Structure 1
Amino acid sequence: MTSPAASAPPEAAPAPVRHRHVFYVSGFDPKGPAHYHRLYADEGAKAAAVGGYALEVGPRRRAGEHGAAWSVRWRGPLQPPAAAAAEVHTEVEFLRWDDLVRAHWPRHAGVLARDLLATTALYLRTGALWRMARLAWPPVVALVVPVLVLLALLAALPLAALASWALVRAGAPLAAGVAAVPALAAAAVLGARAIERRMNMQWLLRSYAYTGRQGTHGWPALEARLDAFAQRIVARAEDPAPCDELLVVAHSSGSIMASIALARALQRAPGLARRGPRLALLTLGQWSPLLSSLPGAGRFRAELATLAAEDALDWVDFTAPADGCCFALTDPVTAAGLPRPRPAHPRLLNPRFASQFSPATYAALVRDRFRLHFQYLMAAERAGDYDYFALTAGPWRLGERCAGRPSIDGYPRFQVLDRWARRLLGPAKPPGPPASP
């Protein structure tokens, strides 16, 4: 059975893609191209078996100073029934910033605790945490839970001592009261570790702290890397080698980095999206408001405005409401306090993971929030509306493939706080003006 995501538009289908170049930007992850190449090859084989097409992933090789690459060959029917077949050659180029992540991946618990408290204080002081909560409350809960766990751990020892004192005052033997202190403290630590394993809090708070610094003092090495990414995008777009689509793909907080790099490419080469290959941006499980909500992130808001104003750019944003580690069905443009120049740009879509798994498998997936957050990059059990491998290696351009699905704008499920706040406080104030590009 062929996946709907692998099918052509039903009428007036344009010429299929024969050659594509993909730039991939990972999230805040110390794993590099070897991990993501293996993931693409392994999950792509599973997706091909489900989707009714063939996918061949070539070996990984070095690509430039900050990248790695591998080739992908897609073969299969253009549309069911198989009246015609297509072969697509895709070059996937992994734009590396995992070395920068590793350089700012504190391992000492004390440093992690310090960064967490300082970053939360920043987001509270600037009002960014409240702005994000009005946009969508689940990701804010995911950010606040580590703070509460840390505060509970800091309070565990004095509370255990107080409980021990109360036991002794109530008539318990002194030895029992003294023994209660380490027992209660150990129980608190075990409980915190169980919560951490469930939510993978250490990964989340590291990304949180890094983005907070990015929106205030900045990371010079990161800025230089993003400029290099932008230049690489411009160079490939202007390369005369065959390319029907130049697709920038990003996952999680990588959506911030990819948006910046692509916007800077458009600023460096005006008219880039109107000449050469079709330019597209695919963001998956995005975290853009984590940066754009900070008052000091004016340059990022200006870069989002550049993307929003480019009508020759195809921009599709997939987020799942069950994924608590993203801003689900939240427009990154209007979330930054910017006007949306045209509808469905970006086009906000739900991958509908629930329809692609058995109920038991999906229930287990939802319980493992960290695993669910990576499902955008993985195969499913059943064919459905979303197929990452057909999107990135199949025969249709991103805009053509998703044109038939309406953008899910104004999704109300996670905006309970905003509705309440509008009655009492009025509309949310924008985080600040965009800076000049």
Structure 2
Amino acid sequence: MRQKSCEHGIRSGSDILDQDGPRRRVYFLSGFDPRGASFYYRMFGEQVRQLKHWSGRCLKTSHRRGQKQDHLISSWQVQEDLALRLDFCFLHWDDIARAHWPKNPLVLLRDGISIYSWYVFAGGYLKMRRLSEQVALCGLYPVLYVGTTLLVLLIACSFLGILSYLQLLPASLLLLLQLVVVLSGCVLAWRLANHLGVVWLFRSIRFTHRLGQARDGDLRRRVAELAQRIGELEASDPAAEVLLVGHSSGSFVMAMLAAELRRQGVDRQLAGRLQLLSLGQNLANLAVHGKARAFHDDLALIAEEPRLPWLDITSRDDYLCFAAVDPYLSCGVARQGPEAYPELRLIPLAQRQGLSRLVDLLSHQFDLHFEYLRTAEPGRSGGFDLIEQLLAP
């Protein structure tokens, strides 16, 4: 599509910030991701350029204001034809993710023993399976990978033992060869696990499990700080429309934050302007834990009247989310009123990437999980396009 000239609409980030008038402000919570605001700024900017290309609209993304100005929020803006369309605020908890991001594989193996003892032998898998078979199977992915690796190494060492018996190799040489195979096999398996997303997935499982055991003090302190900061920002520079968005594991941080906004009275300050949006949520991953009582209290609090409008977007193509699973029914938390809450909406994600075969769907799961944050070509959005909706008039 031919694009009109945008030269008259290009201004610096400071010019955009200084503009008066109504605006839409988004407070975004990423999933369990150590990459931080810089990664999401680049991805968001690319999606704005894609929307600009497809629609012919004159859109411009400002420079990012980083943590030097505000350690809790990094922000950037989008303008169109001299008008500020969107103020995007990335809420930082990525430093907490990095603090819970062990790099030593032995630490992960040690923690995996206790986590999968609960998951396999103490009912964790069955709880997940009742809510989503796909998520339950994804939860087994890391332990199945480790088991397969050990089986392959065992077969390789046994094969060397047979060769040693047939060739009459000295026992010391056999032991040395087996040691080389085990060490090199472990190194290759670790690299492949990183490439396939197995390590990333287990780190996320580990973090959520720790939260479920009521070991969430650092995250809750951050949520309280974020709620206070949002209140201060909206008091000094109020937006006409405010959207709190959580993606993946950021969905349960979003629920914590929404409850904290209510505790601090910020929700009354934002009455009629604040809405919640969860994308590819895995709320039940935390909610199913019996010790996650503080999180259950958060869910109960935000379900009280007057409720904040809450739209939950998931997809059955996304095996890393609880597609159309009611977070309240998942943990037995009561809510007021007969109306369903949140509003659950399913969208087809696979068609955005042209995935029609099961093997393609399985091999693209991690990339597909980020598809909620991307714009789509006209006719392929499946009824929801985050970037287009954020930049709608």
TM-score, structure 2 normalization: 0.81
CA contact under 8 A between 1:316 and 1:349: conserved in structure 2?
yes
CA contact under 8 A between 2:59 and 2:79: conserved in structure 1?
yes
Kindly indicate whether residue 200 of structure 2 is the aligned counterpart of residue 203 of structure 1: yes
Supply the distance in 1 between the matched residues of 2:181 and 2:326 (Cα, whole angstroms).
Answer: 45
**Per the alignment, in what secondary structure is the counterpart of residue 105 of structure 1?**
coil
Residue 212 of structure 1, CA deviation: 1.0
Question: Relative contact order: is structure 1 or structure 2 higher (C-alpha 8 Å, sep ≥ 6)?
Answer: 1
Supply the distance in 1 between the matched residues of 2:224 and 2:211 (Cα, whole angstroms).
Answer: 15
* 1:65 partner amino acid: H
Structure 2 unpaired stretches of 5+? 2-20
Residue 49 of structure 1, CA deviation: 2.7
CA deviations 1:391-418 (Å, max 9, x no partner) are 32323xxxxxxxxxxxxxxxxxxxxxxx
CA deviations 1:11-61 (Å, max 9, x no partner) are xxxxxx941121111111111111111111111110233345443211111
Structure 1 unpaired stretches of 5+? 2-16, 76-85, 396-437
Residue matched to 2:386: 388
Supply the distance in 2 between the matched residues of 1:324 and 1:176 (Cα, whole angstroms).
Answer: 50
**Per the alignment, in what secondary structure is the counterpart of residue 313 of structure 1?**
coil
* 2:299 partner amino acid: L
Residue matched to 1:416: none
Which deviates the most, 186-195 or 262-271? 186-195
Supply the distance in 1 between the matched residues of 2:358 and 2:245 (Cα, whole angstroms).
Answer: 25
Q: Which residue, 359, 373, 376 being the options, matches 1:377?
A: 373
* 1:316 partner amino acid: L
Supply the distance in 1 between the matched residues of 2:388 and 2:133 (Cα, whole angstroms).
Answer: 32
Count how many residue pairs are aligned between Structure 1 and Structure 2. 366
Supply the distance in 1 between the matched residues of 2:353 and 2:105 (Cα, whole angstroms).
Answer: 38
Residue matched to 1:223: 220
* 1:55 partner amino acid: L
* 2:390 partner amino acid: T
CA pair 355-123 structure 1, distance change in 2 beyond 3 A: closer
* 1:34 partner amino acid: S
Kindly indicate whether residue 306 of structure 2 is the aligned counterpart of residue 301 of structure 1: no
Residue matched to 2:331: 336
Q: Which runs of 4+ in 1 moved over 4 A?
A: 155-159, 163-169, 175-195, 357-366
Which deviates the most, 257-266 or 381-390? 381-390
CA pair 241-294 structure 1, distance change in 2 beyond 3 A: same
Residue matched to 1:68: 74
Q: Please give the residue correspondences for 1:259-298 in structure 2 after superposition, counting only pairs within 5 Å.
A: 259-269=255-265, 272=268, 276-298=271-293
CA deviations 1:54-75 (Å, max 9, x no partner) are 4321111135331111112257
CA pair 242-95 structure 1, distance change in 2 beyond 3 A: closer
Residue matched to 1:174: 168
CA pair 222-326 structure 1, distance change in 2 beyond 3 A: same
Which deviates the most, 187-196 or 227-236? 187-196
CA pair 360-137 structure 1, distance change in 2 beyond 3 A: closer
Supply the distance in 2 between the matched residues of 1:18 and 1:362 (Cα, whole angstroms).
Answer: 46
Residue matched to 2:9: none
Residue 232 of structure 1, CA deviation: 2.4
TM-score, structure 1 normalization: 0.74
